[in-house]
A and B are shown apart, each in its own frame.
Chain A
Amino acid sequence: MKLKAFAISALAVSVLFAARPVKLLNVSYDPTRELYQEINIAFAKQWKVKTGVDVQISQSHGGSGKQARSVIDGLQADVVTLALAYDIDVLSEKANLVPKNWQSRLPDNSTPYTSTIVFLVRKGNPKHIKDWEDLIQPGTSVITPNPKTSGGARWSYLAAWGYALKKNHGDEKQAQEFVRRLYKNVPVLDSGARGSTTTFVQRGIGDVLLSWENEAYLALNQLGKDKFEIVTPSISILAEPPVSIVDKVTAKHGTTEVAKAYLQFLYSEEGQEIGAKNYYRPHSPQALAKYASQFPKVTLFTIDEVFGGWQKTQKKYFDDGGVFDKIYTPGI
């Protein structure tokens, strides 16, 4: 009798589980909300056709560093899609959630799409901002988040530094002076990219916003082309927001296979096109060609070329006591 009851309940449980859709949690950074909403729908459709299983994907967004910390603290992310490689490095370093070589597991340094830093200015560009040089003019007010907490702000900081380095033939001192003068023009440091966009767009503070390219387009489309313009500088940084499955978590949830497929989907033609549509620069030549008009030509340098990778960069510039702290210290 008891055995029978047990068998029935076991059967019921297994049926329940079989009917249940697979669940994935994608922990991402601030401006990817719209991108992944679209990706998730497209991937779920494809996965259903391929395997007959429903997949439900939840998204979580916030400052990249904060998101990584939540994952370390136990947020059950099956995949992470963050703003910069350092934030996934720490998942391996601090909590051993991903293997050390995570970035070599997928093509293009595990970055299915790239982006860059552009300027968003007010309509008519009243301060005539054309390039990085115009940002350090006295009386120009620049909005950018705090690079210690925001991934996008770190890319902006490095883009400015890279520009100054190139202009001054690699003279670090002059680059630091350039960046110091730039941050002197920053009246408010928000903690994340969305916060800065709100400060610039809704509170009307500042003449120029240093922004992710996709975030700038988003602001333009949502808030009116009659209010803002995008200015692409002569040179900027190739921002590479990477993705990875979180091995420890997917192993526990039994979602490794679907999580891998989800990330692979980002590299597929369909995924690349959705990326391009959402203003992320795709690797696929077809997708790039189709959306060429929204990606103006700009000389892009990579963090590996100019700064020697994220580990080094983080330590030198953004850790406590680093260069970013120094540019605020009077007398240096």
Chain B
Amino acid sequence: MSTQVSLRSFTRQSILPGFWPAFSYTVLYLSLIVLIPLSAVFLKSATSGWAHFWKSIQSPSVMAAYRLSFGASLAAGSLSVAVGFLIAWVLVRYHFPGKALADALVDLPFALPTAVAGIALTSLYTENGWLGRYLIPIGVKVAFTPLGVTIALTFTGLPFVIRSVQPVLADLEPELEEAASSLGASRWQIFGRVIFPLVRPALLTGFALAFARALGEYGSVIFIAGNLPLKTEIVPLLIVTKLEQYDYAGATALAVVMLVTSFLLLLGINVLQRRSRQFAERA
């Protein structure tokens, strides 16, 4: 009885035809492209038993890599949000010569092979590099440090924030700000009470995308990180290293921890975002 009811509510939702074909395709597609490969990772990690799994993920170098990967990705995500918001704001609110060009430049990190970005950033920040030669004498080392990792990750994450925030900013009706202003709100109040709450869901989306991308990023980081054990090894590198030592189960163990943690973090961000959106809609 109860299944019948739920089944009916399942199918009756939409007035558009084609629910079953569309739904079946969605399930098939998700299974083939996402679920089956991911479950293979879980199964493979289980092949060599719990002891090996545990040993693989809690060695000092792996723990250090987790700290670096999550830490640098969070930092890069936050940096992308701050800088990306500013850039999106400038691109939406102001008119200046070369704006179309600047707008197109934003997407470049999407298209560029990340290894190219990594090599370029590294040459920029090493001792003889254009920036490195001025930064290193004053004690700021970027190449081969966690700071370098963060910068590379910000490079790849920035467009996600800009592209999520830009349309929302563009859709903001000027009447809202005018109304706030006529009611006596200061500029900061308008920004803090009117604009920011409306943009917050988009910022969170951008952050989640940039963060997730940063966690999995390999190409751009590998060149600038220096890859020193316990200092600048990222988790994806350790996974590759384990694979090259024929330790398939160990490699997938690292991946499983990475997957589960990322999933929980992204889930948290999604919940936050939903709350924030509800708030924005109410306001």
Contact of A328 among B56, B126, B229, B237 (CB under 8 A): B229
Is there contact, CB below 8 Å, between A203 and B122? yes
Is there contact, CB below 8 Å, between B245 and A320? yes
Number of A-B contacts (CB under 8 A): 65
Is there contact, CB below 8 Å, between A320 and B127? no
Contact of B241 among A72, A90, A148, A186 (CB under 8 A): A148
CA distance A191 to B228 in the complex (A): 11
CA distance A320 to B60 in the complex (A): 11
CA distance A328 to B107 in the complex (A): 40
Is there contact, CB below 8 Å, between B241 and A146? yes
Query: Which residues from 59 to 88 on chain A have a C-beta closer than 8 Å to any C-beta of chain B?
Result: 63, 65-66, 69, 72
Contact A90 B246, CB 8 Å, known A203-B122, A204-B126, A205-B126 = yes
CA distance A321 to B56 in the complex (A): 10
Whether A215 sits at the interface, judged by CB under 8 Å, is no
CB-CB under 8 A from B128, the residues of chain A are 203-204
- Distance from B273 Cβ to chain A, minimum over Cβ atoms (Å): 37
- Distance from B240 Cβ to chain A, minimum over Cβ atoms (Å): 7
CB-CB under 8 A from B60, the residues of chain A are 329
Is there contact, CB below 8 Å, between B244 and A72? no
CA distance A203 to B119 in the complex (A): 9
Is there contact, CB below 8 Å, between B247 and A146? no
Whether A190 sits at the interface, judged by CB under 8 Å, is yes
Is there contact, CB below 8 Å, between A188 and B245? no
Is there contact, CB below 8 Å, between B243 and A69? yes
B160-202 interface code vs A (CB 8 A; 1 in, 0 out) = 0000000000000000000000000000000000000000000
CA distance A69 to B226 in the complex (A): 24
CA distance A328 to B245 in the complex (A): 18
**Closest residue of B by beta carbon distance from A90:** B246
Is there contact, CB below 8 Å, between A325 and B242? no
Is there contact, CB below 8 Å, between B244 and A149? yes
Query: Which residues from 114 to 141 on chain B have a C-beta closer than 8 Å to any C-beta of chain A?
Result: 122-123, 126-128
Is there contact, CB below 8 Å, between B59 and A321? yes
Is there contact, CB below 8 Å, between A320 and B250? yes
Contact of B227 among A63, A146, A204 (CB under 8 A): A146
Whether A189 sits at the interface, judged by CB under 8 Å, is yes
Is there contact, CB below 8 Å, between B244 and A329? no
CA distance A146 to B230 in the complex (A): 13
CB-CB under 8 A from B241, the residues of chain A are 146, 148-149, 191
- Distance from B250 Cβ to chain A, minimum over Cβ atoms (Å): 7
Is there contact, CB below 8 Å, between B240 and A188? no
CB-CB under 8 A from B230, the residues of chain A are 328-330
CB-CB under 8 A from A146, the residues of chain B are 227, 241
- Distance from A208 Cβ to chain B, minimum over Cβ atoms (Å): 15
Is there contact, CB below 8 Å, between A191 and B144? no
Whether A285 sits at the interface, judged by CB under 8 Å, is no
A selection of 28 A-B contacts at a CB cut-off of 8 Å is A65-B245, A69-B243, A69-B244, A69-B246, A146-B241, A148-B244, A148-B245, A149-B241, A186-B228, A187-B226, A187-B228, A188-B226, A188-B228, A189-B229, A191-B222, A191-B241, A203-B122, A204-B128, A205-B127, A320-B56, A320-B245, A320-B250, A321-B59, A325-B229, A328-B228, A329-B60, A329-B230, A330-B230
18 more A-B contacts (CB under 8 A) besides A90-B246, A187-B226, A320-B245? A65-B245, A69-B244, A146-B227, A146-B241, A149-B240, A186-B228, A188-B227, A189-B229, A191-B237, A191-B241, A203-B123, A203-B128, A204-B126, A204-B128, A320-B56, A325-B59, A328-B229, A329-B230
Interface residues of B, Cβ cutoff 8 Å to A: 56, 59-61, 122-123, 126-128, 144, 222, 226-230, 237, 240-247, 250
